[in-house]
Amino acid sequence: MSSALYRLEAAEGDDERAARMAEEIRAGLTARPRSLPSKYFYDDRGSGLFEDITRLPEYYLTRTEERLLAGIAGDVVARVRPSELVELGSGAGRKIRLLLEAMDHEGLLERCVLMDINASFLADSAHTLAAVFPDLGVRGVVGDFVGDLDLLGPGGNRLAAFFASTIGNLHPDDVPPFLARVADHLAPGDAFLVGVDLVKDVARLEAAYNDAAGVTAEFNKNILRVMNERLGADFDPDAFEHVAFYDPLHAWIEMRLRSLKLQRVRIPAARLDLAFEAGEEIRTEISCKYTYESFAALLPGTGLALDRWYTDPEHLFALVLLGRTAEHGLSR
Ligand code: AVJ
């Protein structure tokens, strides 16, 4: 290891984490329709597969967001003038560099906090950032952006960022309370920059989740391997097929795994012995698509107000700059 300095913390101990996971999996797989929480895609293999997805020709999201961010990072930093950058769900952490460079350029840069569910990707990102920005205080927090925000502590001169349209994985009903909890960790004048995938032509949306090379199918099935490794389950990933389609009523892409045959699956750590009919499905992800209007409608009462809506020339993707208002959010 080099001399780069960063600090890593975890929201929970291993036992606690395992118990919580078993409970969540049990609840999801015994409910109808069956579901699995999409955060469990991201073990090392799944995080790597997602990285591969970001480079697919059909997956316009990442490259559109990165190009857009490159064009607006300076404007965002000039408006907010933050000394601390917080990134939720940081993954491999390339976009954050554009904001840190803009902060550095203005002489504002002091601290950065990365929060991600995958400890090894987080350690890599924290290490790289600490090496690139030697004077930067880097904190890595292994945690879940829904449940573990309290680890961030109080705001003040803080810009929080949530890229990649990961907010789309939340059910729209859960977005206002989530935004209010983020607002609780910001001081008036602080801001939250959110990447949002936009409603568009259905063929384009569906192609992004049904790539020709089959990487998304592998990514989807990987959640079953995660169940096998972490809960001792005996899923046969090849006995399920990848399904992804746009639901226009909810304005979301839904991913499912469909059982190819009648089969039995045991998940010892979750005390489950399941029977799947041929054709029976497990929902593994929703990925909500927004318009300016549908996103703006989620904001009232959250303590966050829309300052800026940045979008690319084709209106594929938006970066939304939300400002912390003086009003108190609805989170409690
Ligand atoms: C990183 C969660 C935003 O929903 O587009 C990619 C994950 N799923 N292909 C998305 C994903 C299928 C991605 N997010």
DSSP string, 71-86: HHHHHHHHHH--SEEE
| Cα gap 325→37, rounded to integer Å | 32
| Cα gap 218→216, rounded to integer Å | 5
Compute the distance from residue 135 Cα to the ligand 1 centre, in Å: 33
Nearest-5° Cα angle at 11, 329 to 160 = 45
> Residues with Cβ < 8 Å from 72, sequence gap 6 or more?
310, 319
Please write the tens of the pLDDT for every residue from 179-224: 999 999 999 999 999 999 999 999 999 999 999 999 999 999 999 9
Burial of 31 (0-12, 13-18, 19+ CB in 10 A): exposed
Question: What is the rounded average pLDDT of the residues 297-323?
Answer: 98
Three-class SS string for 52-73?
Answer: HHHCCCCCHHHHHHHHHHHHHH
Mean of all residue pLDDT scores within the chain: 94
Among 66-80, 144-158, 225-239, which stretch is predicted with the lowest mean pLDDT? 144-158
| Cα gap 115→238, rounded to integer Å | 33
The H or E element spanning position 256 is strand 252-259
Give the residue, by CA position, lying nearest to ligand 1 atom 10. 287
Give the residue, by CA position, lying nearest to ligand 1 atom 14. 166
Compute the distance from residue 3 Cα to the ligand 1 centre, in Å: 34
Q: What is the pTM of this model?
A: 0.95
Burial of 177 (0-12, 13-18, 19+ CB in 10 A): middle
Pocket lining for ligand 1, CB < 6 angstroms: 53, 61, 164-166, 168-169, 209, 216, 219, 285, 287
Compute the distance from residue 166 Cα to the ligand 1 centre, in Å: 7
Q: How many Å separate Cα 127 from the centre of its chain?
A: 21
Confidence of residue 1 (pLDDT cuts 50, 70, 90): very low
Strand partners, 306: 322
Closest CA to 115 of 136, 86, 138: 86
Q: How many CB atoms lie within 10 A of CB 66?
A: 18
Strand partners, 10: 142
Burial of 313 (0-12, 13-18, 19+ CB in 10 A): exposed
| Cα gap 38→285, rounded to integer Å | 5
Please write the tens of the pLDDT for every residue from 228-250: 999 999 999 999 999 999 999 99
Ligand 1, atom nearest to 165 Cα:
3
Ligand 1, atom nearest to 50 Cα:
6
Closest CA to 186 of 87, 81, 321, 325: 325
| Cα gap 39→219, rounded to integer Å | 12
Write the CA distances from 301 to 1, 93, 144, 275, 319, integer angstroms: 46, 31, 23, 44, 21
pLDDT of residue 92: 65
Question: What is the rounded average pLDDT of the residues 34-45?
Answer: 95
Compute the distance from residue 72 Cα to the ligand 1 centre, in Å: 23
Q: Does 13 or 86 have the greater pLDDT score?
A: 86
